[in-house]
Amino acid sequence: MPARQDELLIALQESHGPSLLRFVAHMTHDTNFAEDVVQEALLRAWRRPEVLLLSDDSARAWLFTVARNLVIDDRRSARYRHEVPTEVVPETGTEDETNSALDAWILSDALSTLSEHHRKAVVAAYYLGQSITEISRQEGVPEGTIKSRLHFGLRALRLSLQEKGAIL
């Protein structure tokens, strides 16, 4: 855009921008939307350099007409008819817990296939976070036995989960 047109657009915005913003804000009761409408009206003036060459009153009338038509078009749009403005933001959605519930169910089912000794060792170590020493004392067996129960319990658990299609 030539420098002369830049100057004319700036002058148009400075002369009519504030009153145009008040006009649109009064029509819409939405300052943010009004700012968008004013920006769009000025953009359309920039795209039509002949508007910049009109008399001050004619350019003002053109801007106000364009802004009014933009507001009317928006109010007729499906977006406006289907959106419900609200001051309160709805509560945020929660994550879908279906997969974790299904995983827990499959794992619980697989754990039930283990022998009681293997299941106790796996649950104590991996769910309760107990050390091998703690499990050994609790069960009254040597630590090596707990290590063996964990090893074979995890192998049996993996096999059970594979049979259920939970792991490859």
Which amino acid is residue 44, in one-letter code? R
pLDDT at 35: 93
pLDDT at 115: 94
pLDDT in tens, 114-146: 999 999 999 999 999 999 999 999 999 999 999
Instruction: Specify whether the CB–CB gap between 13 and 67 falls below 8 A.
Output: no
Ranges in the chain annotated CATH 1.10.10.10: 108-163
pLDDT at 149: 94
Instruction: Give, in order, the Cα–Cα distances in Å from 78 to each of 68, 82, 96.
Output: 18, 6, 31
Q: Which two structure tokens, joined as six digits, stand for 101?
A: 């519930």
Q: How many residues does this entry show for the chain?
A: 168
Mean pLDDT over 37-52 rounds to 87
**pLDDT grade for 163, boundaries at 50, 70 and 90:** confident
Output the CA torsion 71→75→78→84 (10° steps): 120
The residue among 53 and 32 whose pLDDT is bigger is 32
Q: Which two structure tokens, joined as six digits, stand for 13?
A: 């915005």
* In the predicted structure, residue 1 carries a pLDDT above the cut 60: no
Fold of the 108-163 domain: Arc Repressor Mutant, subunit A (1.10.10)
pLDDT in tens, 63-98: 999 999 999 988 887 666 666 667 777 777 777 888
**pLDDT grade for 22, boundaries at 50, 70 and 90:** very high
User: What dotted CATH number matches 3-82?
Assistant: 1.10.1740
Q: Which two structure tokens, joined as six digits, stand for 55?
A: 């008399």
* In the predicted structure, residue 2 carries a pLDDT above the cut 80: no
Instruction: Give the angle 162-101-123 at the CA atoms, nearest 5°.
Output: 65
